[in-house]
Amino acid sequence: MSLSVVLAVGLDSWLLTLQASVWRSAGYIVVSAFSIREAIDDFMAGDFDLVLMCESIPVEDQERLISQIRKSGSRTPVMNVTQFHENAHALAGHALEVESMALFTGMEDLLASQAGNPSAMRAAYARPS
């Protein structure tokens, strides 16, 4: 099984910890960042398949994070996980509903479209057969 490495970013530690736990239980490798600075540092030091931004991040911080990711030359997809913001995809390019089935289906669809660009971190976290 190929594992996807996700950078989860949020300012609400309780909400982000809960979301990361759900993603881990679904088989994702999750690195959590509790500030934009931490997210930028983690992203620059890692190799991620997907960046998920929690709705707790203000728009200007989302813009800053996405700008840094794109300046690095990365084509890693960035998604907003939101419950309320109708135009969340306008900034990140993709939005996921908090509802669990929609969340995982959306993540799987996006990651499948990126299959030609596998993460180098996957091998480091691969589970033995």
Quick check: 15 and 54 in contact, CB under 8 A? yes
pLDDT of residue 24: 87
Q: What is the pLDDT of residues 12-67, one digit of tens each?
A: 888 888 888 888 888 889 999 999 999 999 999 998 999 998 878 888 998 899 99
Please give the model's pTM, rounded to 2 decimal places.
Answer: 0.68
Quick check: 2 and 122 in contact, CB under 8 A? yes
Task: For residues 85 and 69, give the distance between their C-alpha atoms in angstroms, rounded to a whole number.
Answer: 22
Q: What is the pLDDT of residues 65-99, one digit of tens each?
A: 999 999 999 889 888 876 554 544 455 554 444 44
Measured CA distances, 76 to 12, 15, 28 (Å): 23, 23, 16
CB neighbour class for 23 (10 Å; exposed up to 12, middle 13-18, buried from 19): buried
Measured CA distances, 7 to 86, 88, 100 (Å): 23, 18, 18
Residue predicted with more confidence, 3 or 102: 3
